[in-house]
Amino acid sequence: MTLRSAMADNPRFHWSQWIFPGPRRVFTAAELARAGGTGWSSAIDCYVYTNVVLIVAIFYTQLPPGSALAVVISVIAVSMLGLLVARWLWRHPTRTRYNLVSLATGVAIATTQVSLSKLGWKTQVMESMPFVIGGMSLMMTSWWFLTLYRTQQIESRLRELDAQQERIAMAQRLATAQIQPHFLFNTLASLQHWVDTRDERAGPMLRSLTRYLRATLPMFAQERLPLEQELQIVRSYLEVMQARLGQRLTWSVDLEAGTQPVITAASLPPGTLLTLAENAITHGIEPSLRGGHVAIRVGMTASANAGEGGLLRLEVEDSGQGLTPDAYDGLGLSNTRERLQAQFGAAAQLGLERASPGCLAWIELPLQPSHGALVGDQAAAALPHTRPAAGPVPSIDAAPTRPAHEPTTP
C-alpha cells in the first residue's frame, strides 16, 4: 500500500478541531439566501424547557436551602440565553461564531463564580461547581451539534438546488437538441422545390422560416422567455407549416380582452407553447386527411381577473385526428412538464383533453403578484389573428417531425 493510498483510506486528522472546533464551511449571504431560511422550530424550545424543568424538579431537594430559588431562576435564565445563542448560530452557523460564544460563556461563568466567592458564597460555589461545569459542557456540546447540523443542512439544500439547476439546464439542452431535423429538412426541401420551379410562395416561406430560426436558435440559452416572444415564435412556426400544408391548415391566435399587460409581463420556459403547437400539427393535423384548424388562446382564470394569485391559461386546440387510445407522454411533453415543475412548482399544470373534434392542450401558470395590478388594466383589447388558408400545396412531410411528443391519454 502506497503512502498516498494509505492517506486516502485514512482521512486526515485535523488538529485545528481541538483548538478551533466546528465546521470549516463558511456560507456567504447569497448562499444563505439561496438555501432559504428553515425556520427555528418551537419544538426545540419545548424540548429544552421540559428537560430543564424535569432536572430542576429532580435535584431541587439537593440544592442549598438558602439559594435553591436563586439557582432555579438562574438555570431558567441561562436556558433562555442558551436558546437565544442557538437561534443566532442557526441563522448563520460558523465555527467562528461558535468558538466566540463558547469562550464568552466560559469567561462569564468563571467571572461569576469568582465574584460570588469573593462575596462570601464560596461554599455554595464549591457545592454547585459540578452542576455548573456539567451544564456548561452540555450547553456548549448542544451548540456544537446544532452548528454542525445546520451547516450540513444548508450544504444539502445547496447541493439539491445545484442538482435541480443542472436538471433544468440539461432539459434546456435536450430541448435544443429537439429542434426537429425533419421539420427543417422538409421545409428546406419545399423551399428548394419552389425556388427551382419559380413558385411565388418561396419568398414568403423563406421569410417565415428566417423569423422562426432567428427566434428559436438562441432562445434555449435562457431559463425564461417572455410570453410575447414565445407567441411570435409560434406564429412563425405556424406560418411555415401553413405554407407547407396549404388548405389543410388554418390557424389563429386569440388573446382574451385585458390580457395584453399580463402577456407583456409573463414569461415561461422556452419552447413550452411551441411544443404544444408542434404536437398539434404533428399528431393532430398532419395525420388527418382533411387537415384542420389550430387555435392558440391566451386567457386568465376567473380568480386571476379578481386580482393576485390567479392563473394564466394558454390553450392549443386542434381539430385534427385527436387522441388515440394508446397515446402517452412523449419526451417533449415530459420535458415540458419537468421544466414547468422546476420553475413554478405544483402551481403550474399541463393537461391534454379530448375535443370535438381533435385535442385540447392547456397550460396554467401562476400570475406573479406584480401582474395582479395589471390584470385590471383594460387598455389592451383582444387581438384576434386568423389566417386564411393559402393556395393548394401538397404536403411533403412524410415523417413525423417530433415523434417524441406523443399526446397523453387523459
How do residues 109-141 score in pLDDT, each as one tens digit?
899 889 988 888 888 788 778 878 888 898 999
Q: What residues pair up with 225 in beta bridges, in sequence order?
A: 268
Question: Which of the residue ranges 175-189, 230-244, 379-393 has the most confident prediction, judged by mean pLDDT?
Answer: 230-244
Average pLDDT in the 14-37 region? 83
Burial 363-394 (b: 16+ CB within 10 A, else e): bbbbbeeebbebbeeeebeeeeeebebbeebe
Choice between 23 and 328, residue whose per-residue pLDDT is larger: 23
Checking if the pLDDT of 389 tops 60, the result is no
The rounded distance, in Å, linking the Cα atoms of 68 and 71 is 5
pLDDT of 175 reads 62
The rounded distance, in Å, linking the Cα atoms of 168 and 164 is 6
Choice between 37 and 286, residue whose per-residue pLDDT is larger: 286
Choice between 28 and 165, residue whose per-residue pLDDT is larger: 28
pLDDT of 333 reads 82
Checking if the pLDDT of 294 tops 90, the result is yes
**Model-level pTM?**
0.53
Checking if the pLDDT of 78 tops 50, the result is yes
pLDDT of 188 reads 85
pLDDT of 271 reads 83
Choice between 368 and 162, residue whose per-residue pLDDT is larger: 162
Choice between 309 and 162, residue whose per-residue pLDDT is larger: 162
pLDDT of 181 reads 66
Burial 226-247 (b: 16+ CB within 10 A, else e): bbeebbebbbbbbbbbbbbbbe
Choice between 410 and 305, residue whose per-residue pLDDT is larger: 305
